[in-house]
Amino acid sequence: MYNHPYNHHHHDSYDEPLYVDRPNGEDEEDGPFGPPPQQLIQQSQIPQPFFTSSFQPPQLRARLCACLGNWGLLGLRRQGQFGRDFWFFPTVIRRNSVTGFIWIRGRRQRVRYEYSQIRNFICFG
């Protein structure tokens, strides 16, 4: 197992993302060029079903596909390393997972989540 801080492949914690470490800047052009929208979305502006609804993989894939290349709000089933609800920029949709970017400490970070970890997703792009 790698000791690199972005190669967390622990399966002990349900909501740990799987970091995707791309050597030599590979596939960097598909990510966001800037941070999520500057205006902070207030909880009152987010439809209440976002917090209470839970979608199955086919519906999640459809929502994420419709938002490729845009920022959206990702909701996890359980509290994760970056919180439970946070900005996510999907770039690659797979059968059982989605890869994209989060914005942390002023820069983008590529992560991958299994659909079983995701509760909901809403696009703001």
User: Each residue of 58-87: pLDDT tens digit?
Assistant: 999 999 999 999 999 999 999 988 889 999
pLDDT at 44: 63
pLDDT at 62: 94
Strands 107-114 and 18-19: antiparallel
The 8 Å CB, 24+ separation contacts for 22-30 are 22/110, 27/91, 30/69, 30/91, 30/92
User: Each residue of 22-62: pLDDT tens digit?
Assistant: 444 445 567 898 888 865 566 667 777 788 888 888 999 99
State how far the Cα of 10 lies from the Cα of 88, in Å rounded to an integer: 21
pLDDT at 33: 85
**CATH value of 1-23+53-125 in 3.30.420.40, 2.30.30.180, 3.20.20.70, 1.10.10.10:** 2.30.30.180
- The whole model's pTM is what? 0.74
Amino acid 92 reads V
pLDDT at 17: 54
pLDDT at 1: 36
